[in-house]
């Protein structure tokens, strides 16, 4: 049973992109930014997204025009990030990230960080006006209100 659970967890971490329906929500000089809006609507799929109270969890994808350098020294051109947005408090928190060698979550997995054991777990962050996170925040909280 432990092997099955571990296998399912690893599969969900590696293959999110295979099931995602990425919707472009923004662009700037660094790249293009996407969300899987379908996961917000699918309350039953707790691997990809779920809604509890005023908090909304969702996977996002950042597709960079230029490579970024990962902590292991390798270049990556896209990453998928699992966010939780608090619609009442206007904050967000990162749960985990996956960085890929190719664009749009393609290519080899360069690295993966789970926030509970990483530098990302600094608690919640406020939404910065005019940022890509503000755009994402508005989209997920708008979808939550539609439910």
What is d(CA 93, CA 79) in angstroms, rounded to the nearest whole number? Answer: 16
Rg (CA), the chain: 15
Q: How does pLDDT run across 24-71, given as a tens digit for each residue?
A: 999 999 999 999 987 774 333 333 344 455 788 889 999 999 999 987
CA atoms within 13 A on the CB side of 48: 21
Distance between CA atoms of residues 36 and 144, nearest Å: 14
Domain boundaries, the chain: 2-146
Q: What is the pTM of this model?
A: 0.73
Taking only the tens place, the pLDDT of each residue in 109-126 is 999 988 654 455 557 889
Give the chain's largest Cα–Cα span: 47
Q: Which CATH architecture has domain 2-146?
A: Beta Barrel (2.40)
Give CA–CA dist 51/85, Å, rounded.
10
Q: What is the mean pLDDT of the chain?
A: 77
- Give the span between the Cα atoms of 35 and 128, in whole angstroms: 18
pLDDT digits (tens, 9 = 90+) for 99-110: 999 999 999 999
């Amino acid at each position: 049973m432990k092997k099955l659970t571990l296998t399912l967890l690893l599969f969900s971490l590696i293959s999110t992109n295979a099931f995602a329906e990425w919707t472009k929500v923004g662009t700037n000089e660094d790249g293009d930014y996407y969300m899987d809006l379908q996961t917000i609507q699918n309350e039953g799929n707790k691997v990809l997204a779920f809604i509890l109270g005023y908090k909304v969890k969702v996977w996002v994808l950042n597709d960079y025009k230029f490579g970024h350098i990962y902590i292991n020294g390798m270049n990556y051109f896209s990453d998928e990030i699992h966010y939780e947005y608090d619609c009442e408090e206007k904050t967000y928190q990162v749960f985990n990230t996956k960085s890929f060698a190719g664009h749009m979550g393609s290519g080899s997995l360069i690295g993966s960080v789970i926030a509970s054991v990483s530098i990302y777990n600094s608690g919640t962050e406020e939404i910065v006006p005019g940022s890509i996170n503000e755009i994402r925040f508005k989209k997920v909280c708008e979808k939550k209100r539609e439910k």
